[in-house]
Amino acid sequence: MPSPSLEPTVFNETLTVADKEYSVALPSSTKEIRFICRTLFDVRFAWATGKVAAPTAPYLTLLAGMEYSSDDNDITAKKLYLASAEAGVVVEIEVWT
């Protein structure tokens, strides 16, 4: 059984420009991640660069008002890539290591 996550880190990533890719470097040994859009807009996200600015599969969509979460991971040296069709979107991200 995996050991419980012990340390939270919070990011507030502002997607200032519409349809521009932003990246968030996750702490090493990230075990859990949760994120939500503070404003009510969809957010595109991917684990690889070049997928979200001009939507290019594969990417995922965090629908307005929804939360993404993933537990029991071992994410090391990963980046989360984000974009939105709306400018000024704020994505609240919580990770546990």
Q: What is the pLDDT of residues 24-70, one digit of tens each?
A: 999 988 999 999 999 999 999 999 999 999 999 999 999 999 999 99
pLDDT of 92 above 60: yes
How far, in Å, CA of 65 to CA of 39, rounded? 8
What's the average model confidence in pLDDT over 72-92? 92
Name the pTM for this structure: 0.90
Residue among 70, 59, 66 nearest 26 (CA) = 70
Whichever domain contains 62, its CATH number is: 2.60.120
In a domain, 51, yes or no: yes
Q: What secondary structure letter does DSSP report for 75?
A: B
- Count of structural domains, the chain: 1
DSSP 30: B
Confidence (pLDDT) at 3 = 63
Domain that holds residue 74: 14-96
Would you state the pLDDT for residue 1?
55
Domain membership flag for residue 1: no
Would 4 be classed as within a structural domain? no
Question: What pLDDT does residue 16 have?
Answer: 98
